[in-house]
């Protein structure tokens, strides 16, 4: 429990802030016990039988043990988050690698090497708590820093812009994208009429829609996605000088996406795919890591960007303002209890510390109200800051009192200020230098309920994003729109979407329209609609920004999962060499076979299978390795599940290494033939010892590329 002292301990250097935070949490933790008691501590005589009037008689109301147990159970659930209900979280630390004294007085951003404990929650936005992880959606990326000056929350997303510009439209957006209210369908999906109805009437959503239709909305892993603060914030230094700042989290493993067909299948095969991936990586000791990067912009530069920094539908390309790396985030401990930590954690963009401040972004301003307000119903009252996961590591003291579930026992008779009966006269009331000082931004304008014309250009950055994508990424965006609109039943809505798209890029609009059987998009139709404020497109400072593409990103195979398909008679020689090379490069391998138990190799060696083709299908892996051996290849070729495994990995453009005779698995589908070069990302080779090392290197290089999106004949393979 936080102490109520206001002594100077927040200034003393914590020896190891991360360890003391953990100790603080442990004080509220409980491990398993042998003895069961009631909540009052009375030892239970029996945990199987209720108290009855006779062996076969009715239960007695008097049974306080049964009543307490059932009552507690009846109230186990709390409302899920109204958005971002589905999530997973972990503990870790933030380490500063570059001092920011020049820009901010925030204590945790001063000294290189200082470590601040953090709790980070990732989430999807639209689905309910039990929905699948791999749906097409934005991901939340919320970081709570337990600093010595109070908790600082950076509550961001994995997409750097947002659908809307003003908080006033947030409830409409959420009502439109969530399951439709009459039948609560579809779950965790934007592919339905109400969402597209709304966004097609809100051209300010054009930029964000491009991101959501891209593979950014299908991350391979939380560990392989970027995070963004989205809004422009301020950093303020000790002299009161302010800089605008944009926050970026950049994953050490690179940014990577899934194939859409794959993401949909994973949603059924393992709805916990991202949650499990995060949990397993931390349990294995593969601690996920991100760099914190800042774009620092002074007032003068801000005026020359060509768009309004307060508009959350705009980003600042790093090609225009470079990103300075200032620290690293490491997640190294899984929560002990999902409910107590991941569910009860309460983030709030308004949790700031001295040296970090807001801007007048009208979306951010609305958020500053929403987050405490929502906890009042979600966490049942005003004392949620006392929950162990939400407690700060520095002392706090004020005269806020009472309320549901108050845990702190405030001593004394004084709960007001000023006072002379307590120590009230010691408090500064003269607006002195101490504490959080709001940046004194000059504001003198008439009240007005209107949108600034500087927010009117909705398409230039959507076009910039489009221009910055590789050919394959563009195809994915087109396919994303086509899929979503094919689920929209009202033709006029589909038409409106493509008419709007014509303002982003005519080719994109035509390609989306074609297979939907709708008219060639008409940009003028969009412009004539009410709510469509046409603004002269601002000149983008760059035509294309490679940093917005995910192609060619990352060159490591660390933590990638490789399936080794085994059947009786497999020749293990080359396979073993390649497996070792994969492990040395940091990948993990699993043996997958027709059934569990040992599989006999060609030399009679017994290799235990970790999984079966059905319980761990190809969508659970990043790459596939199949050993040679005529008998094994024959057996796999006759097993529909094995053939499907290989072809599905091929279709999802994953790296494949087929040794010796196992090449026939791809021949069956007609995607390889003698006279055709090996498809991109597919490595063939003989069992000969001389070929092994080269094969291993080629396979590692193929996995490092993540996916071979331009691979030939993918459409020919059945889904
Ligand atoms: Fe949130 N958002 N949001 N949001 N948001 C919530 O707070 C809200 C927005 C984000 O893991 C809620 O505690 C409004 C942008 C994350 O616990 C709620 C507006 C961004 C999380 C809320 C926005 C976010 C939330 C629901 C527009 C990216 C999950 C439960 C004015 C910068 C945090 C809760 C976690 C959660 C309101 C827009 C990120 C209702 C009103 C933009 C990562 O308060």
Q: Any known ligand binding at 234?
A: no
pLDDT tens digits, residue range 445-457?
A: 999 999 999 999 9
Ligand 1 within 6 A of CB of 274: no
What pLDDT, on a 0 to 100 scale, did the predictor assign at position 413? 94
Contact present, 669 and 688 (Cβ < 8 Å): no
Average pLDDT of the chain, as a whole number: 94
Architecture of domain 561-716: 3-Layer(aba) Sandwich (3.40)
Delimit the domains of the chain by residue range: 87-386, 462-535+542-547, 561-716
Centre of ligand 1 to C-alpha 15, Å, is 34
Q: Specify whether the CB–CB gap between 103 and 403 falls below 8 A.
A: no
pLDDT band at 478 (very low <50, low <70, confident <90, very high): very high
Give the span between the Cα atoms of 106 and 437, in whole angstroms: 12
Q: What one-character-per-residue DSSP string does 485-526 give? A: HHT---HHHHHHHHHHHTTT-HHHHHHHHGGGT-PPP-HHHH
Q: What is the mean pLDDT of residues 415-433?
A: 75
The pLDDT of residue 596: 97
User: What is the average pLDDT across 87-98?
Assistant: 98
CA–CA separation, 625 and 613 (whole Å): 14
Tokens linked to 157: 């997303």
> Per-residue b/e over 253-274, b at no fewer than 16 CB within 10 Å?
bbbbbbbbbbbbbbbebbbbbb
Q: What pTM value is reported for the model? A: 0.96
Choice among 39, 48, 49, 84 that is catalytic: 84
Percent of the chain whose predicted confidence (pLDDT) is above 90: 87
Both tokens assigned to 130: 């039990």
Specify whether the CB–CB gap between 435 and 354 falls below 8 A: yes
Which CATH code fits 87-386?
2.40.180.10
Mean pLDDT of 533-559: 83
Give the pLDDT band of residue 538 (cuts 50, 70, 90).
Answer: low
Question: Above 60 in pLDDT, residue 4?
Answer: no
Beta carbon of 156 within 6 Å of any ligand 1 atom:
yes
41-50, 136-145, 427-436: segment of lowest average pLDDT: 427-436
Distance separating alpha carbons of residues 620 and 47, to the nearest angstrom:
41
Residue positions counted in the chain: 719
Mean pLDDT of all residues in 174-203 = 98
39 included as an active-site residue: no
Tens digit of pLDDT for each residue in 488-514?
Answer: 999 999 999 999 999 999 999 999 999
Residue 199, pLDDT above cutoff 70: yes
pLDDT higher than 70, residue 15: no
Position 402 pLDDT exceeds 90: yes
CB of 89 closer than 6 angstroms to any ligand 1 atom: no
Q: How is domain 462-535+542-547 classified at the architecture level of CATH?
A: Up-down Bundle (1.20)
Confidence label for 12 from pLDDT (cuts 50, 70 and 90): very low
Distance from residue 223's CA to the centre of ligand 1 (Å)? 21
* DSSP annotation of 339: I
Q: Which of 9-13, 57-61, 214-218 has the lowest mean pLDDT?
A: 9-13
Residue nearest to atom 41 of ligand 1 (CA): 367
Per-residue pLDDT tens for 597-618? 999 999 999 999 999 999 999 9
| Alpha carbons 645 and 218: distance in angstroms, whole number | 21
Band of residue 668 on the pLDDT scale cut at 50, 70, 90: confident
| Region of poorest pLDDT, from 111-120, 330-339, 535-544 | 535-544
Query: Ligand 1: which atom is nearest the Cα of residue 166?
Result: 31
Pair of tokens at residue 391: 């407690």
Instruction: Average the pLDDT over 572-591 and give the result.
Output: 97
Task: Please tell me which residue in 91, 151, 157, 500 is annotated as part of the active site.
Answer: 157
H or E element in which residue 464 lies: helix 460-467
Whether 84 is a known active-site residue: answer: yes
Report the separation in Å between the CA atom of 188 and the middle of ligand 1, taken as the mean of its atom positions: 16
Residues 6 or more apart whose Cβ sits within 8 Å of residue 58? 52
Over residues 293-344, the pLDDT tens digits come to 999 999 999 999 999 999 999 999 999 999 999 999 999 999 999 999 999 9
- At 188 the pLDDT is 98
For tokens 């706090």, name the residue.
Answer: 396
DSSP assignment of 343-386 equals IT----TT---TTEE----HHHHHHHHHHHHHHHHHTTSTTGGG
Q: How far apart are CA 650 and CA 618, in angstroms?
A: 10
Residue 371 annotated as binding site:
yes
Per-residue pLDDT tens over the stretch 250-299: 999 999 999 999 999 999 999 999 999 999 999 999 999 999 999 999 99
Q: For ligand 1, is residue 332 a contact (CB within 6 Å)?
A: no
- Positive or negative, the CA dihedral 193, 198, 203, 207 is negative
Q: How far does the centroid of ligand 1 lie from the alpha carbon of residue 83, in Å?
A: 7
């Amino acid at each position: 429990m936080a102490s109520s002292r206001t002594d100077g301990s927040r200034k003393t250097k914590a020896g190891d802030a991360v360890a003391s935070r953990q100790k603080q949490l442990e004080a509220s933790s409980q491990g398993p016990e042998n003895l069961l008691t009631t909540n009052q501590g009375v030892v239970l005589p029996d945990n199987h039988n209720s108290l009855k009037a006779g062996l076969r008689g009715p239960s007695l109301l008097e049974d306080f043990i049964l009543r307490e147990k059932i009552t507690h159970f009846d109230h186990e659930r709390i409302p899920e988050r109204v958005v971002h209900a589905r999530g997973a979280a972990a503990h870790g630390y933030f380490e500063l690698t570059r001092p920011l004294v020049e820009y901010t007085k925030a204590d945790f951003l001063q000294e290189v090497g200082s470590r601040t404990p953090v709790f980070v929650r990732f989430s999807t936005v639209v689905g309910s708590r039990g929905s699948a992880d791999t749906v097409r959606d934005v991901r939340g990326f919320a970081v709570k820093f337990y600093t010595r000056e109070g908790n600082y929350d950076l509550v961001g997303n994995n997409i750097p812009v947002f659908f809307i510009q003003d908080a006033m439209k947030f409830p409409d957006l959420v009502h439109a994208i969530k399951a439709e209210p009459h039948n609560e369908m579809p779950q965790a999906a934007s592919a339905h009429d109400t969402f597209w109805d709304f966004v097609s009437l809100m051209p300010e959503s054009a930029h964000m829609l491009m991101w959501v239709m891209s593979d950014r909305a299908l991350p391979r892993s939380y560990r392989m996605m970027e995070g963004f603060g989205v809004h422009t914030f301020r950093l303020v230094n000790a002299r009161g000088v302010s800089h605008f700042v944009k926050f970026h989290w950049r994953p050490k493993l690179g940014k990577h996406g899934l194939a859409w067909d794959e993401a949909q299948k994973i949603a059924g095969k393992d709805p916990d795919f991202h949650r499990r991936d995060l949990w397993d990586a931390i349990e294995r000791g593969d601690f996920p890591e991100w760099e914190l990067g800042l774009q620092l912009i002074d007032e003068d530069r801000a005026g020359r960007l060509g768009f309004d920094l307060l508009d959350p539908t705009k980003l600042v390309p790093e090609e225009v303002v470079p990103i300075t790396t200032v620290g690293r985030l490491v997640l190294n401990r899984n929560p002990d209890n999902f409910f107590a930590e991941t569910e009860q954690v309460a983030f709030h963009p308004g949790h700031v510390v001295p040296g970090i401040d807001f801007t007048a972004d009208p979306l951010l301003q609305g958020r500053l109200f929403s987050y405490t307000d929502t906890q009042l119903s979600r966490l049942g009252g005003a004392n949620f800051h006392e929950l162990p996961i939400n407690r700060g590591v520095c002392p706090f003291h004020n005269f806020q009192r009472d309320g549901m579930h108050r845990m702190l026992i405030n001593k004394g008779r004084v709960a007001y200020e000023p006072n002379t009966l307590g120590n009230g006269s010691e408090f500064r009331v003269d607006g002195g230098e101490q504490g959080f000082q709001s940046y004194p931004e000059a504001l003198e304008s008439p009240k007005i309920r209107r949108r600034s014309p500087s927010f009117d250009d909705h398409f230039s950055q959507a076009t910039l994003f489009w221009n910055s994508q590789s050919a394959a990424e563009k195809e994915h965006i087109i396919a994303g729109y086509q899929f979503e609109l094919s689920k929209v039943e009202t033709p006029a809505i589909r038409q409106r979407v493509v008419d709007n798209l014509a303002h982003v890029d005519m080719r994109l609009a035509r390609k989306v329209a074609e297979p939907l059987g709708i008219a060639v998009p008409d940009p003028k139709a969009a412009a004539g609609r009410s709510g469509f404020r046409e603004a002269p497109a601002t000149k983008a400072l760059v035509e294309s920004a490679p940093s917005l593409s995910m192609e060619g990103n990352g060159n490591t195979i660390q933590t990638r999962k490789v399936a080794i398909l085994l059947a009786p008679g497999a020749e293990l020689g080359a396979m073993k060499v390649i497996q070792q090379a994969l492990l040395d490069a940091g990948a993990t391998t699993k043996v997958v076979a027709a059934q569990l138990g040992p599989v006999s190799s060609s030399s009679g060696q017994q290799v235990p299978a970790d999984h079966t083709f059905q319980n761990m299908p190809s969508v659970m892996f990043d790459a596939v390795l199949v050993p040679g051996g005529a008998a094994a290849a024959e057996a796999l070729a006759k097993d529909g599940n094995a053939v499907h495994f290989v072809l599905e990995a091929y279709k999802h453009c994953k790296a494949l290494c087929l040794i010796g005779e196992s090449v026939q698995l791809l021949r069956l589908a007609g995607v390889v033939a003698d006279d055709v070069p090996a498809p991109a990302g597919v490595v063939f080779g003989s069992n000969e010892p001389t070929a092994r090392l080269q094969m291993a290197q080629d396979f590692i290089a193929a996995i490092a590329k993540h996916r071979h999106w331009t691979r030939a004949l993918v459409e020919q393979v059945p889904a």
